[in-house]
Amino acid sequence: MIRITAYSLAAACALFFTACQPSSPDTENQGSPPGLDLSLMDTTADPAMDFYRFANGRWLGQVEIPSDEDSWGAFDELGEKTSEKVRTILESTIEAGNYDPATDQGKAVLFYQTAMDTAHIDELGLKPIEAELRKAEAISSLKELEAYLIESAPLQANAFFSFTAAPDRNNSAVNAGFLNEGALGLPGREYYVKDDEETLRLQGEYKAFVSRVLQLAGAEEQAAQREAEAIFQVEKRLAEAQLTKIQKRNPLLMNNPRAQADIAAMTPSFDWKAYFQAIGLGAVDTFIVMQPAYIESLENTLSEEPLDKLKAYTRWTLLNSALAYLSSDFEQANFDFYKGVLGGVEEMSPRWERVLNTTNFSIGEALGKLYVDAYFPPEAKAVAEELVGNLKAAYGERIKKLDWMSDSTKEKALEKLSNLRVKIGYPDEWKDYSKLEVRGKEDGGSYAANMMNVSRWAWQRKVEKVGQPVDKGEWFLPPQVVNAYYHPLYNEIVFPAAILQPPYYNYQADPAVNYGGIGAVIGHEISHGFDDQGSRYDARGNLRNWWTEEDRSRFESRTKLLVEQFNAYEPLPGLFVNGEFTLGENIGDLGGLNVAFDGLQKHLEEHGDPGLADGFTQNQRFFLSWATVWRSKYRDEAMKKQVKTNVHAPGMYRAIGPIVNMPAFYEAFNVGKDSPLYRADSIRVMIW
């Protein structure tokens, strides 16, 4: 239930991995040029020896990670300010009582208001999902398990397998149905298949968490412990059958069209024909099986595992997916494990922040209408459109000058660039929430019940897409979320309204700061169309090879150097960044920063160089701007989880990783061979 995500990172490459909290304000630089805060730098450091400290040293020394966060970064200020704005809209509307709960905007307000009523939520306890839990508990045969999985599909708890709709990889103009792996309680496969001391400790903590929740749900202690062990064993078996996180990054491995009859043969113990018929897709012949070996492995799981274990896992996936929306004892247990044990967070963030985040990704565009009306000026969109145009032109020039790519492949790359769609601010057509039912307390509604309704609504939209033309106007982030993304199947870059503010863009700042901020963001997203994943899709978003074998080989030789560079970064003793896992984002950063730098040079040629600002040249301020937006601190637990599960490298390495491959950085700060930042010409990476 309620596993609602705005979009899949398997299909879209986002700039960031999480929302953030505020950095310190500029209190010492009143009167200085806006855009860079010198009070947060450490100008006693030598930029040629430790550029990250030079750019961020005082910030690193004085900022503490808040007790309700597992990490802390420079982007946090904008995330917090934006959330406060949206909160103001919601709470002032609730106080005034002047909203119509039948409208989309009114539903967003009512959703938030109902979720904020903790007294009512605590009074209800487990009641909102008790009926569903009883159905799972009543399963007495494999046939009844199958019937339950079919009936409960709209709740999207994803026991054993999951289903979604997205553009067909081979024909991106039409939506296809996709079958993929089932839900796991731990963050990923690695947490189940490794047997080092730390992994075994976390497995034990997870079992204790499961047991705790089961006891809260009414189980006796010893029975809960036995059931927790059974649940873990089923999940471990499912995890072992999954592709590795590196394999999942290869879209060729995840694109496996199969006829219904073939899918049925993979897992004879499950009636796939009945499943597809029940969800309304019985007439569809072919689906994309993202991991055929995994779907085949379900046959052994279903036929060999005792029914009680299968039933326990099924019930658990439902319960676990709902914990954050139930009474405080369930929510606390959820926090203690997922944020406390796995992230090292000391206390929950304020309730309004937690509820707002859920609202954003459940009924986000309805809320986005309110945000855009109140805070998004048309001028911001015009500025972003101009910047995107400049950077697309600069990217084209870089492609034309590549010395490692043949003319035939360059032609295809330029075609893809010219067909790149750009979305800025907010959708031209908003999502229609008229079929979504949101109820307040007075009408028998609750936080969990409304989330179940969101899940059912999203499921129906998903099913109705299969076999239909792709809506190229659809957005996968709401306007009030600070982020940006590239979607390879749409060949588009998207910049929600909230990102078009400082520190990304400041109309008062000098051009270097803006090109090192929003310019690099734009360049990063464009570069995703040409990273190790995005480069496998053509100008229309189809998974089709447009490379010569020689060009692909040269491309991979260059990306291998980038993998090796990031493999050497060691954020904690013995913990190394996985350069292959983070490759796509690292290519995005490297390409984005290079094209943004070219854009700055073009801007200075056309408009003139404003000269020194705070004693720094425009080129220096460009690199400082980039480094400051990636300043960050992590708790040890959060850093371990980041490296294991996140396709983005930790912020400090994103700040430094690209620039040490750029000759302009060496020139700007006189970086010589004696510097630990120095990389010999033979290993400096230039891809796009």
Position 483 pLDDT exceeds 50: yes
What pLDDT shows up at residue 23?
32
Beta-strand ranges (E) seen in 497-560 are: none
Please calculate the CA angle 618-621-623 and round it to the nearest 5 degrees: 115
Unique residue bearing structure tokens 């039933």: 311
Residue 616's DSSP bridge partners are: 613
Q: Contact at 8 Å (CB) between 199 and 214? A: no
DSSP annotation of 336: I
467: left (phi over 0), alpha (psi -120 to 50) or beta: left
Average pLDDT in the 435-456 region? 97
- 95 class by beta-carbon count within 10 Å (0-12 exposed, 13-18 middle, 19+ buried): exposed
Q: How confident is the model at residue 581 (pLDDT cuts 50, 70, 90)?
A: very high
Position 11 pLDDT exceeds 70: no
Q: Which two tokens stand for residue 531?
A: 């990273």
Phi, psi of 270 (to 5 degrees): -120, 135
Position 56 pLDDT exceeds 70: yes
Q: 244-258: per-residue pLDDT in tens? A: 999 999 999 999 999
What pLDDT shows up at residue 33?
58
Q: How confident is the model at residue 383 (pLDDT cuts 50, 70, 90)?
A: confident
Please calculate the CA angle 555-558-563 and round it to the nearest 5 degrees: 120
Position 7 pLDDT exceeds 70: no
What pLDDT shows up at residue 670?
97
Q: Contact at 8 Å (CB) between 619 and 599? A: no
Q: What predicted TM-score, i.e. pTM, was given to this entire model?
A: 0.91
Position 191 pLDDT exceeds 70: yes
Q: Contact at 8 Å (CB) between 1 and 322? A: yes
List C-alpha distances in Å: 179 to 166, 245, 278, 288: 11, 17, 15, 6
Hey, what domains does the chain have and what are their CATH numbers? 67-84+380-429+478-683 (3.40.390.10), 126-325 (1.10.1380.10)
3-class SS of residue 163: strand
DSSP β-ladder status, 286-289 and 257-259:
antiparallel
Q: How confident is the model at residue 378 (pLDDT cuts 50, 70, 90)?
A: confident
What pLDDT shows up at residue 469?
98
Q: 136-169: per-residue pLDDT in tens? A: 999 999 999 999 999 999 999 999 999 999 999 9
Position 434 pLDDT exceeds 80: yes
Position 417 pLDDT exceeds 50: yes
Half-sphere exposure of 213 toward its Cβ, with a 13 Å CA cutoff? 32
Q: Contact at 8 Å (CB) between 352 and 118? A: no
Position 19 pLDDT exceeds 80: no
Indicate the average pLDDT of the chain.
Answer: 93
Q: 210-230: per-residue pLDDT in tens? A: 999 999 999 999 999 999 999
Half-sphere exposure of 475 toward its Cβ, with a 13 Å CA cutoff? 29
DSSP annotation of 350: P
